[in-house]
Chains A and B, each alone.
Chain A
């Protein structure tokens, strides 16, 4: 065959690089647009990009956390996406940017590998990059563009730095610094750790390669001394590079350093899965260690052999193993010891694993090259057969590609985010009726909250960039975001509760809820459902919230603003121009002549292990996935059966749960679902998440068992516990649950009717978007305080009382206690769930507003207490449902048990039967108020009985009269009405109650 027709003989490396670039375009390029919405970080970066596309030179971003500075994150990636977004929509712009960066990264890996091995190996490395699981995960699961951008330019800079140390040519220094400038401008963390894990080993390798051949000593100690000597000889180069690098690192993103110095992050560390012990938390191990690093572990023998074979790789060996160790998170105590607990709790350690995988690329590529067409291939063919090698390589390759396909779609297999939410209805809602004059909050949106923010100018109290949080309600608890508070345990709900209760403090008026889990908390904190948008999102609203007060932006000097807008983007332009100059004037054909040639030989142990491990790992991994889907024995023991049954119930997979019941012809799925629909519902079945479960086998025989199931549930109203006893039988080697006996209360009547009054506020009488003082103002309804008391019980202080809707229309009442202390500090307190916020005409409700501890308040000395009530006309939320009958039994230690019988006279289910309980003294003075709710629902026309215990405080509490409480209704001073004795309470151990139920059916206007 003529030489001209041979496909792969010339420019092997470059051809492979072109293949890699094309492959990346075909695979990642096509899929990235679809994976972006499911990633963790993409929307945050898109939000930042949107900021720069709107306000390039203004770093103050008011839309999150009541305002923060975007100088808190290097801007280059966001600014570049913002520029592309001038032409394309934001998501497309981000995808285009991602593809460009991936291509630059592949070129970077190719060039990076060339300082280790030959060009063909570098080409293999480039192709490996396209399918490397850690890169696929970083792009398609995490969406971390700054990390990839920083790395892409860092890898491109390293060969120039290497050249500069060896050849001392200024152009190489300029090129290295230009590329490193882009790294600094894109991702400061990559720049900082890149100095340690990438630049230091490169310098070491350059020094080692720069030693004259006759001066290369055999002895390791002498080699070290030679390196030190060589380093001293080139000290001017090091100082020049180091000095310029520091100037660039500081100067390019100076506003960032200035921000981190002047506004240091003082917040409780947020847990991150990469810091878990991967043996205990296997899900974290899978995401942060197994998926990104499986190939590295499969080829670890080959990597270890190659990286320790040559002295020039000593620096890389240290970097690689250190990164691998740090990437193992909390599995061993070593990373914490190395980094110190501060850094350990701030950093996300999976990044170290990611860097380890990058360092390993050249060494993996070398083995793969040898395995495909080198000595390893020859060994397999000679020792076994060509067929054996072909089968081995094809099985390895296909199983790995399946594994990569699995990672591409990880977001689909194991949903990390809620389903995609159409944001247009929310944008329309925010745009109309001046809704943007208040802040909003999203619940159950996942990272899509950033996408909503990016498309609207409205402000939210939440945010998706926790380094910028400064509100104490957020920074004092390990809570990443409010919108996924339920995943942050009690702390998350406490934070969310703070915001929902103190909504006025942050002018928070609207909540977009995509998760009914939060409904009970929203309802009992005084929020009302306003409208269900076309996309299914429920909008909750709180009355009497003032419009956003202007927040003074944190001052940034105009010069710094200009520098922030110009320098980082300028660094990229400069790098681009310098590259053109370099390619045209300085690029040499074979510019790296100092790389020593290495053989493709591997010892037998390495050949076997590194050839077989990938097959074992990836085939094993994929088979395990299939096994989990198909062949799990869910009913092998009573305990397993119960655990799996509850798991299905928790995820509302009722058909799966039904299959755990003993198959009985008279008990089909229909019957189960029917019984469930009439017997189930309420706080635990509908608004809770199973937190923990413990199964105790009470009696186990050969074919039957009785088990007690202790469950703890997380609800928006706190944790609740439940005990169930289940009877089980064994049939065909499987354990089944006997369906519970079902004896429902049967209402006599055929139809129910219930009369209530609906109100509609007419709103503005003038159709105009301009506010006028005369005709738009809806009158403030009348309210009156029936009693107000300042109570101290031990260390607890609270204001209790009762307020009346004195008007003829339903009202929404907002209460606020303002306490002024002697040192001129002023504190505001709001009621939590111990209040009925919406009241029918002439209805009254007890309330309790918790204050600070006695110790704290006494130390500050109270100057005055003011209680403000603001009223607003309400159309909704004033029906609280249910007829309550109760008796009270005295228990020990001042405890009482309240036995409540709730009768549902409404025409719909009461989802959460609840009572607002007040403890009164003989004169009718309210000592405390509490909300007590029941776990299960009560259907229309039926009764439900429940018991609650209450710790009375009459003997331990004091009514503080020496500090008068000034009362205001709608800003005007008011007097309290005379306190009246409560005969019913006096007959019931001082306990009075009002029904306070949550009804999910919107027709009842809650």
Chain B
């Protein structure tokens, strides 16, 4: 019996040692929309030794905690802006946690950056010169703000590009915004031939090759020279360079009929005579 009392006393002692749970501190700010970094979060609480953190929907934001007679206040450790939007203040005391939903709003935009996205980045006049454009702006803290002269965040339209082949930039200062207008297919294949008596060979030139917009056809385009001596059918291929493709064909003292071909475009048939 005596032991029982002893155990009961021990249990009572353990229970009495358990600390008292604090009450939830009261957020005193008039609105849950808080302008940062200037505005502070004010709390009323009878307890001290709180730990606090501010969690935005993307990242934790470091805060400073100042205790005063009525409670404590939280301010942002750094003086720059944040990614705006919903956030939570988390207060903890031992293993007790309290959460407060707030909305963060920056005091200023800081430096504003324009964004101009293009799709497709590569345009070929053989198919279409149309390009989708999307404009928007972001502030220094990576918050999207309205497009220039617009009420919406994003401005979107379809633009018709100038059919001059080249590399362009949607934003002049940004190489990353580059887009490309390719030359189209050749519309005609002019072919000339010279016979080199010294080497007994025909030097056949196809070009200059231009597309429908007078752009020089792309380097590397495969030009097939198809020719026949009436018996055999020959095929020699050459890659276009600066609009010209040149091949040296062994003449062997023979005559040939030749035409050049790229995909469905054929040149006139010319006769190669030594």
Contact = CB atoms under 8 A, between A and B. Distances in A.
Given A779-B122, A804-B263, A842-B221, A755 B199 contact: no
Contacts of A842: 185, 221-222, 262-263
A808 B175 contact: no
Nearest to A758: B220
Contacts of A650: none
B247 to A, nearest CB: 8
A980 B221 contact: no
A885 B124 contact: no
B220 A810 contact: yes
B234 A883 contact: yes
A954 B239 CA distance: 34
Interface string A778-810: 010010000000000000000000001011111
A905 B250 CA distance: 10
Interface residues of A, number: 42
B264 A765 contact: no
B120 A779 contact: yes
Max chain A CB contacts within 10 Å: which of B121, B185, B239, B241?
A: B239
B236 interface: yes
Given A779-B120, A782-B127, A841-B221, A749 B264 contact: no
Nearest to B262: A842
B219 A757 contact: yes
Contacts of B235: 883-885, 993-995
B25 to A, nearest CB: 40
B108 interface: no
B220 A903 contact: no
A844 interface: yes
B182 interface: yes
Interface string B220-249: 111000101001111111111100001111
B42 interface: no
B114 interface: no
Contacts of B12: none
A756 B239 contact: yes
B14 interface: no
A775 interface: yes
A490 interface: no
B17 interface: no
B124 A809 contact: no
A885 B233 contact: yes
Interface string A972-992: 000000001000100110000
A988 B233 contact: yes
Nearest to A884: B235
Nearest to A777: B121
A312 B235 CA distance: 86
Contacts of A808: 124, 182-183, 218, 220-221
Contacts of A905: 236, 247-248
Given A779-B122, A808-B183, A984 B233 contact: yes
Nearest to A983: B226
A873 to B, nearest CB: 10
A878 B228 CA distance: 25
Nearest to A844: B263
Contacts of B237: 840, 843, 880, 883, 995
B216 to A, nearest CB: 11
A987 B117 CA distance: 53
B126 interface: yes
A757 B218 CA distance: 11
A806 B126 contact: yes
Q: How would you classify the secondary structure of chain A's contact residues: helix, strand, loop or mixed?
A: loop
A310 B215 CA distance: 102
B176 interface: yes
A420 interface: no
Contacts of A759: 220
A766 interface: yes
Interface string A951-984: 0000000000000000000000000000010001
Given A808-B182, A842-B185, A755 B221 contact: no
A748 B236 contact: no
Given A757-B241, A842-B262, A774 B117 contact: yes
A987 B262 CA distance: 20
Given A782-B127, A984-B226, A883 B236 contact: yes
Contacts of B238: 755
Contact of B220 (A748, A806, A841, A901): A841
Contact of B264 (A757, A766, A878, A980): A980
B117 A765 contact: no
Nearest to B219: A757
A313 interface: no
Interface in A729-755: 748-749, 755
A901 B122 contact: no
Contacts of B175: 765
Contacts of A774: 117
Given A765-B175, A840-B220, A905-B248, A987 B239 contact: no
Given A807-B182, A883-B249, 11 more contacts: A759-B220, A806-B126, A806-B263, A808-B183, A840-B220, A840-B239, A841-B218, A841-B240, A842-B185, A880-B237, A984-B233
Interface of A: 748-749, 755-757, 759, 765-766, 774-775, 779, 782, 804, 806-810, 839-844, 878-880, 883-887, 901, 903, 905, 980, 984, 987-988, 993-995
Interface of B: 117, 120-122, 124, 126-127, 175-176, 182-183, 185, 199, 218-222, 226, 228, 231-241, 246-250, 262-264
15 contacts: A748-B199, A755-B238, A755-B246, A765-B175, A782-B124, A839-B222, A841-B218, A841-B240, A880-B237, A883-B249, A884-B234, A885-B234, A886-B233, A887-B233, A905-B247
Closest 9 CB pairs of A and B: A808-B218, A883-B236, A843-B222, A840-B222, A757-B220, A885-B234, A885-B232, A841-B221, A779-B122
